[in-house]
Amino acid sequence: MSSLSKLAALTSTNKPTERMPVLFLGHGSPLNGIEENEFVQGFRTQGKQLNRPAAIVVVSAHWETKGTRVTAMKSPRTIHDFGGFPRELYEVRYPAPGNPALAKEISRLVKPEHTVLPDDKWGLDHGSWTVVKHLYPDADVPVIQLSLDYSLSPRQHYALARQLKSLRDKGVLIIGSGNLVHNLDMVEWRRLNEPYAYDWAIEANEKIKGYVLDGDHDSLINFNKQGKAFDLAIPTPEHYLPVLYSLALKDTNEEVMLFNDQPLGGSLSMTSLKIG
């Protein structure tokens, strides 16, 4: 039995969909793990509309490594990789199982330019569990994470992601988790809970959405050549790169739907995408 056959057999009593969509989720504050707001409601709505996957792969902004790694443990820990939040948030556990068979399959699929190594130390960081818990609150779908290799160029990230497309046909839901606009140094903290954005943040977010809807992936890959607004919106790439992973999995004829399309605190965007 192949590793993906084992995956389907071991992870679900329901028949997985023939082809899963792809998500990019603007994950925002870790508090989305415990708060009830419009963004959490948006995640929950998507969860209700999706068929139950055999497993989930999350590419989170919060796991950067030298070389690409994939979590390969049977029971990934819930990582509270943040500080200064209410005790209630640190007490949350999302005990979804892992899936070593899927981790092994990803290592097999990604070749020959890149090597994906198994990891038994990481787990599920807040870019993963604070959003996935709203999609599947029972924590009964296996979840693994794929890291961002900080030595790769944006085009190399995109090329790596394209090699994972066949997983969609095996009932695997792939999620990029970050934020299209993410500049913490310029957040207007007094307006963090308001749909407020600086002019440059609006400009960057609208252009990114335009490129997404037009299928202009080259412009999105070359985000560092798009001008001042993009430079301010993406001062460091880790929160932006997950959208490239999601878009790389899109077929030409597939539609993209936007949701949670709101700015916050001047310099953040919660804009999220569903592909397929």
Collapsed DSSP state (helix, strand, coil) of residue 266:
strand
Instruction: Show the tokens assigned to 266.
Output: 């001047």
Q: Would the pLDDT of 2 be above 90?
A: no
Which of 184-193, 219-228, 262-271 is least confident?
Answer: 184-193
Q: Are the C-beta atoms of 109 and 65 separated by less than 8 Å? A: no
Q: Would the pLDDT of 105 be above 60?
A: yes
pLDDT bracket for residue 54 (50, 70, 90) = very high
> Residue 61 belongs to what domain range?
3-275
Q: Would the pLDDT of 10 be above 70?
A: no
For residues 93 and 137, what is the distance between their CA atoms, to the nearest angstrom?
11
**CATH code, 78:** 3.40.830.10
pLDDT bracket for residue 114 (50, 70, 90) = confident
The pLDDT assigned to 112 comes to 78
Q: Measuring CA to CA, which residue among 143, 150, 176, 171 is closest to residue 161? A: 176
Q: Which residue has the higher pLDDT, 92 or 3?
A: 92
**pLDDT tens digit string along 37-50?**
999 999 999 999 99
Instruction: Show the tokens assigned to 180.
Output: 């299209």
Q: What is the pTM for the complete model shown? A: 0.93
The pLDDT assigned to 217 comes to 98
The pLDDT assigned to 16 comes to 47
Instruction: Return the half-sphere exposure (C-beta side, CA atoms, 13 A cut-off) of residue 91.
Output: 4
**pLDDT tens digit string along 122-133?**
999 999 999 999
Q: Regarding beta strands 268-269 and 263-264, do their DSSP bridges make them parallel or antiparallel, or are they unpaired?
A: antiparallel
pLDDT bracket for residue 15 (50, 70, 90) = low
The pLDDT assigned to 3 comes to 45
Q: Are the C-beta atoms of 264 and 193 separated by less than 8 Å? A: yes
Three-state secondary structure of 187-237:
CCHHHCCCCCECHHHHHHHHHHHHHHHHCCHHHHHCHHHCCHHHHHHCCCC
pLDDT bracket for residue 64 (50, 70, 90) = very high
Q: Would the pLDDT of 9 be above 80?
A: no
Q: What is the DSSP letter of 149?
A: E
Q: Would the pLDDT of 67 be above 60?
A: yes
Count: domains in the chain? 1
Average pLDDT, the chain: 94
